[in-house]
Structure 1
Amino acid sequence: MRSVPPEGAGGGGGRGLTGARRTTALNQIAALAARLVGSSASQVSLLSDVQTVAGGSGLAPGAVGSQGPLEDSLCTVTADLGGPLVVPDAALDPRVSGLPPVASGAVGSYLGVPLADTDGRPLGALCVFDPGPRQWSPSDVAVLQQLARAVVTELEFAAVSAAHRADRARWDLAAEAGGVGTFDLDLTNGALLLDDRLLELSGLDRASFGGRAEDVYAHVHPDDVEDVISRVQRAVDTAGSYEAEYRIVLAGGSHRWVTARGRVVDDDGAAHLVGVAHDTTAQREPMQRTAEMLEGLAVAFIAMDRDWVMTHVNAEAERIAGRPRAELLGRTLWEVFPATVGTEFEENYRRAAGTGVPVVFDAHYPAPLDVWVEVRAVPGPHGLALYFLDITERVRSQRRVELLAQVAAELSGTLDAAVAVARLAQLVVPALADWCLVTLVGEDWRSGPRRGLRDVGWWHADPDLLPVVADYARERVPALTDTSFVARALSTGRPVVVEEDATARIRAVLSPGPAHELLEQLAPDGFAVLPLRGRGRTVGLLTLFTGSGRGPISAVDLATATDIAGRAGLALDNARLYRQQRQLAEDLQRSLLTAPAQPDHLQVVVRYTPAAAAAQVGGDWYDAFLQPGGATVVTIGDVLGHNTEAAAVMGQLRSMLRAIAVTTGAGPAEVLRRVDEAMTTLQMGTTATAVVVRLEQTEDQALRGVTQVHWSNAGHPPPMVVNPDGTVLPLTGLRADLLLGVDDSARRRQYEVTLDRDAVLVLYTDGLVERRDQDLDHGLDRLREALEDLAGRDLDELCDELLTRMLDGHSDDDVALIALRLHRQDRPRPPAAGPNRIPPNVADSPDVVPQPD
C-alpha cells in the first residue's frame, strides 16, 4: 500500500524538493548507479498520486521532470513489493510484461529497489534497466540498495536545505545587523574580544567569559580542541590565515558545528588574529548522516584523492584491511597495501583513474590478509572511490565445486579407475593439504597390516619434497604396524584425524627403518586418513598431510575430502564390477565364435576385439568352413545392437548361414537370399550386415596358382584384397545390396574376381573403420593406407598391427577381423597354411558378375 510522502520529503509530485540542485544530485546518483552495474539507463521515480521522474541517466530528452500514471510504472511494482524487484527478462515476467515500457521494447531487463523515509513509508524507487534481457548479480542488488539510501539522504537533505535557505535569509538580515560572530585576538598580550553573536555560538555569556582563548577552548569538543589550537598556532607562526571547523559542546550534551576563518593583521605594529565565525550545523548534519551511512555499509569503502592518499575509510574497510583507520588515513594506498603494486589491483585502479570509467574485477590479496575481494573502482572529480566486497567464502565454495568437478571428470574419464584414483593426489594438493598419499587396498588386507596395501599416488606442494614423498610411499607400507593409523582406518571404515604433533605420533606406529628418516624430512603437523568406501567395503585410502604453516585441516576441507573419498571408492568398486562383467562378456562372446577351418595352402587368421567402453556381448561374428564340393566359405557379419539379444541373434544367424551353405553347396548370393527368407519365416525381427566369400579353383587354376573368389555383400563394409605387388583393392561390386532382415524378396548380387598366389583377403566389421569423429569413407582410406604399408608381413603380424593402427588403443565398437593368405601351390605346404586339402572345383552360377581388373 503506497502512502503520499509528507511535505518536504518527496511527495506531492516533488513538493518542497524542486530546484536544479536536487535534480542535478539525483541525476548524478542515477548515473552512478548505471555505471556501477553497467546498465544503459537508470531512473529515480517519486510516487504520489502520479509517478514523477525526479532524476535519471540514459533517458529520452524531457523524461526528467515528467509525470505519468502509477499503473504504467515498473517502479510502482517495486514500491508495492517493498524489496528489490529483479527482472532478468521483462517479456517473460508476468509482473511487468504487460506494462507499456516493456511492451514498447524500452525495457528488456529491470532491477529496482524501493525508496522509503525514516518511518518506512514508500517514496518511490531507484532502478536500472536495459533494452535487452540480462542477469542481475547479488552485488548489483547490493550496490543499488546502497545508492537508494543516498537518494533518500539527498531527498532529506534537500528538504533540510529548503529550510536552511529560509534560515540563511534571516541569517543575512542578522549579519547585516551584526549577527555574524567576530573575534579579535591580541597576539601581544593574549586578550580575546568576542562580539555577542560569537559568544552565543561559543556557548558563553559576558558574565562567564574571561577574555582569554582558553575560555572558548573549554567549550570546544574534546576531539576537536587540539586541532583548533594547532591551527591557531600555525596561523600565528606563519603570520598567515586561520580556518577551522569544530564542535561547541552545549548544555545538555548536544553540540553545535562552528566554522571560523581569520587572518593575522598588523595594527600599528601590534599583531592581531581577527576573523568571523558562523554556525554550520545545518550543513554538517546531512554530511554526517552520509558518513554514518557509509560507515554502516556491509561493503568496504575507501576514498582517495588524486595523489592516492586515503581520505575516508569505513568500518568494513578496517575489518578487511585488518588495521585501524588511524593507520590508513593520510597515507597513500601503495604505502599501506604494498602487495597491490605491479598487480591487477594497480593496473585496474590506474585504468579507472586514467579513463574516468568505473572498473569492476575480482582479485586475491595475499597474506597476511589472504582475502578474495570484488572491487569496484569508481573515478570522481576529487579522486578514486573503491568499493570492496569480501567474496572469500564464495570463491572457496566455487573452488570446492570446481575441485569436485575435476575429480568427477578424472574418475569418469578412464575405465582404469585405479589410475584415475592415483591422480587424485595432484588434485587435492594444495587445495586441501600440503601433501597426500593414495593407497589401494586388496582383498587380503585383513591378513596383516602390510598385506594387500599399495601406495599408488602421491604429491607435494613443494616440488623439492616430491622425491621425498615418493621414497616415503615406497617405504611406508612395509613399515606399518598393527597399531598404525592406516590399520585403524581400515578396521573401522571411518576417518582418522590428527590435528597436531603428527610426526611423532606417526613415527611411534612405524617400524624402525628408512621410513622414520623420510617422515622427519616431511615433518607433517596434522593428517587425516579417509577410507575409500565402495558398496560396504574399503577399497582404498586417501591420506592428507598438513604442515605447521598451514594449520589443521578445516571442517569444510575435511567435508570436501570425505566427498572425494566417497566418489573415488565408488569408482574403484565400479571398476572391479566392470572388469568382472567385461570378462564374462568376452568369454561368452568368444565361446560363440568357433575356430575357423584351415584348408591346405590357405592360411586363415581371426581376431576379435570387444568395445573398450562396453561390458556386454555384441553381434559381430566371423566364420570359415568348407562346403561339400571342397570350396572354402568365409563369412563375416554384424547384428544391430550390443546386448545379449544381439549375441543370441548373432549365434542363430551364424549357424543358419553355415547350415545353408554346407547343406546346399550354394554360392554366396543364394546363401544370403535363403538366410533372408529364413529370418522372415522365423520372425527374427532384426537386421544384420554380412559378407559371404567363396574361394575355389579349377584344375587349370590350381596349376596356374590362381584362385577364383565369389562374393555377395548385404550392406557390409567391403572386403579388401592385398595383391602380391602391395596394391589394395576393395571388393565393392556394382552397388551395395540391402541388409539382411529388410526385404527378403530383394535380389542378391554375386561378384567374382581372380586372385594370384600370395594375395591376402581381409574381412572386417565396421568397428575397425568407423568412429564418432570420422566418417566411413575416411576410415576406409585409413584402412587401405595401413594395408598398403603392411603388405608382405606375416599374416598374424599383419592382423595385430592393423588393429593397433586402426584402433589407436581404443575402440568404440566391437571389431571382428578375418584374414586369408593364398599360399603358393607349386611348393610344399608352408607351416602356416592349413592341413585340409581343397579338391579342384568349378563354380557355375548364373548370378556371377565378373569383377573388372
Structure 2
Amino acid sequence: MVAAAVPGSEPADPGLQRLAKLAARLLSAPASQVWLLPDGRAAGAPADPAPPGSTDPLCAVTAAGRAPLVVDDAAVDPRVASLPPVTGGAVRAYLGVPLLGQDGHVVGVLCVSAPAPRRWADADVAVLTDLAEAAAAELELSALSLQYEADRLRWQLAVAAGGVGSFDWDLRADVLTWDERVLELFGYTAEDFDGTMAAFEARVHPDDLERVRRSLGAAVGDAAPFEAEYRLVLPDGDTRWVKARGETVRGADGQPAHLLGAVHDTTAERHEDARVSRVLESMSSAFFSLDRDWRFSYVNAEAERVLRRRREELLGQDVWELFPDAVGAEFERQYRRAMDTGEQVDFEAHYPAPLDRWYEVRAWRDPDGLSVYFLDVTTRKAAQQQAEAERAATQEALRTAERAQREARAAQEAAERTARRLALLARVSADLTATLDTEEAVSRLGRHLVPALGDWCVVTLVDGEGDLRDIGCWHAQEELRPLLERYREVRLPCLSPDAPLHQALREDRSVVLSTRAAERVGALLTEPARGLLRQLAPESVQMVPLRARGRTVGLVSVFRGAGVPAPSEEDLLIAAEVADRAGLALDNARLYAQQQHVAEGLQRSLLSAPVEPDHLQIVVRYRPAARSAQVGGDWYDAFLQADGATVLAIGDVMGHDITAAAAMSQVRSLLRGIAYFSGGTPAVVLSGLDAAMEGLAVDTTATAVVARLEQNPDERARGVTRLRWSNAGHPAPVLLTPDGTVTALTGLGHDLLLGIDPRAPRRDEEVALDHGSTLLLYTDGLVERRGQDYDEGLLRLHGAMTELAGADLDGLCDGVLARLLPEHAEDDVALVAVRLHPQDRPRPAEAGPRRVPPGVPAEPPPPGA
C-alpha cells in the first residue's frame, strides 16, 4: 500500500505519491504513507476515525513526539500497542519521521510500515529522514501560494481529463494527423498546424532532434516499434517533456504505410524524477542501482565518495569488472540472492584494498534490477573490534587483578602482621625507655604482650645472686586479674626444679608447651599454686628468656587458654624480640643504678654547702635536667679568700654527662685554688684559670662569672658593700635592690669564654650595693629552653624576682625555679643567691649559723659597738 493523504481528504499530489513510493522502495517496506495535518488541528489529532489498516494513529503519535518514531514490534511497544492498527494486526513494524516546516512546526509525517515485526537500522532512519526533508520542502513550497496551488490543480485536472493524444503519420503522403491533445501538447492550433514533419521538427528541442529522427527512421525502415521521450520547445519558450510510442503499419504491398502512435506529457514525471534524484544526491547514505546485466544505472554523490570513483567511471560499467574482489565474496553471494529470490538482504562485509573498508549493505530487487544502499561502518567496526579486544584485555586484566588482589591481600595481611609486631615493639620500647627503674620498666611488660600474644602472662626477674622474683603479671580479663595476682605471689616457691621455667633458664632458650599446659605445669607445682593454675586453665604456654650482654636477666611466660591456637613461629619471633628489648632495658637499668651510685657520690663531693660569713646570707640550688643526669656541666661555688672577702662563682662546662662533670670538677677546683692563693680580683682569677686550663690540658670550654664582695672601713661606715665581678661569656648576674628594682649587671658586656684563648684580655666591673640587696647568679638553663629565647626568659626572670622581692632568700630561690622551670627540664640549672643584711645589728637567724674556714679574719665590730 502506497498513499499520500491528508486526514479526511483525497490523496495528495503525485509528488508526495512518488516520495511515498520511493520510501517504500528504498526501505523495502510493503506500505508507506505521507500523512498531513489539517489546518487548525493539533499535531497528532486525526480529523476522522482512521480506516482499518491505516497508520494514521501511529503518525499522530509521531507528529506529537516531533522526532522519529522507531517501532520494531508494535505489539510489545507500550507507545503504540493499544492503537487500532496494532490491535487489529494490520501494523507490527513502523518507522515514521515528522515533516517540519521552515519555522519548525510539524506539517505531517512520512512513514513506512509492515504487518510483521522488523528491526529498523540506523541507516533506515537516515534514509527516511532524508526523504522526509524533501517532502517537507515540497509541502513548504506548495504553501507559498494558495492560488498557485489551485491553478496547478486545475491544470492537472485538465491534463487528466484530456488523456493521451494520438497521431497518424501517412508515410506515403508524408502527412501528419494529430488530435486535439497532441496539438495542445505541441503548442499548435488546428489552424496553425500544417500536418508536415517540418512542423513537428520545429517543436522538437534541437538537442533531442537527431535522436528522435534516428528512432523514427529505425521504426519506419525496420518496421520496429517506435519509442522516444524528448523535449518540446513551445512558442512561448517553455520546454515540455513528452513520451511517444508507435507501431509501423504496412500497406497491402507490404511496405510501411503508416506510423500510428500516442503521445503523453511526461513533464511532471521528469520533474519528479529530478526531485527524486536530488533526494538521492542529498542522502547521507551511499546508494546505487544496477540493471539486470549488473551494470551501474545510477550512483549518488555519497556512493562516489565511498567507492572512490567518479560517476562517469561507474555508470554503464559492470560491477564485477570494476570491483573484482567482490566476485565470490559476500557481496556477490548476497546480491545474487536478492536478485534470484526477490528478498531483501542485509549484511556486513569487508572490501579489501584499495578500499579496505567495512560496509553495512542493504540490497533488494526492483523492476529495473537491483537497488543497493550502504554505509561505511569501518570506524564502527574498528570500534567493535577494539571493544572486543578491550573486553578480552579487560578480562585478562581482571584475572591479573584478581591474582594481584589475592597477592596484595596476602601482602597486606603480612604487612598488617608486621605493623602490629612493629607497633607492639614500639610500644614496648617506648614504655621501657620511659623509666630506668628496673621493676617499674619490666613489670608493665605484660600489658603489652596481652592480648597481642596471649591471654595472660607473668614476668620474672633474675637478680644478681640468681634468685627469681615474679615482679609483674597481667590478664586480658579484668575479673581474673586478682586470681592471677595470687598465683604470681605463690608460684615460685611451689615450682619444681624440673618445671619448664627452670628449664628455659638453665638452657637459655625458649620453651613451648603447645597443649595441656595446665596439666603439665600443674604436675610440677604444689598447692596452693596448683589449684590457682587449674582455675586459670591455660592450654599452651611459651617461656622466653630475657637476655642482655651475654646473660639472662629475666623470663616472660605467656599463657593461652583453650580454643586459642598455640603460638606460631611468628608469635615466637615477636616474643623473642620483645624479650631481647626487655632484657636490654633490665640490664641498662642495672648499669644505670651502678652509674647513679658513682655519680651521686661525685655530686655530693662537688655541690657542697656554701660558707656563711657574717651578715651575708648565701643560698645555692641545683636542678638536674633529668634523673639520668644528676651530674652535668653546671656548677657553683662560694668561699672566702684569705683576706676575708667573699667570692661567688658560677659556671657551665660544655656537656651534660659524667665527662662534663669531671671537667667541671677540674675547672671548679682550679678556680677555687687560684682565687684563694692569689687573692686577686675576679678578672685576675679568670685569666689565671684560663692559663691553667691550657697548661694542664683541661680540654673543655666553659662560661663563668666570678664575683667578689669587698668592704673597706669607709664603706662599712656608710653601710654599703662593693661588688666586683668579671664575666667570661656567662649570663649576667641579676641585682634586686631594697626598693624592689631588678637590674641585670651587664656592665660593658662579657668577655671571651674560658678554654678558647688564655691571652684574651679580661676586665673587672664593680658596683656599690646597699644593705638589703640581693644578688642572683644562675646558669643559662634557667632562662633558655626549646621554644623560648634568652630575652624572653630574662624578662620572665626579672618578673619573678619582682614578685618575690619580699620573700626570704630560700623562698626567692625556690619561687624563681618554680616559675621558670618546666616540669621536665631539658637542661640542668645552678643558682647562687646572696643577700646583704645590715651590719649594725646582730646576724639574722635566717642567715644560718656563722660557718667560715679557720684563719679568716673576723669582721670588725659595727660602729659604736
Taking structure 2 as the reference length, the TM-score comes to 0.48
Q: Larger Rg: 1 or 2?
A: 2
Taking structure 1 as the reference length, the TM-score comes to 0.49
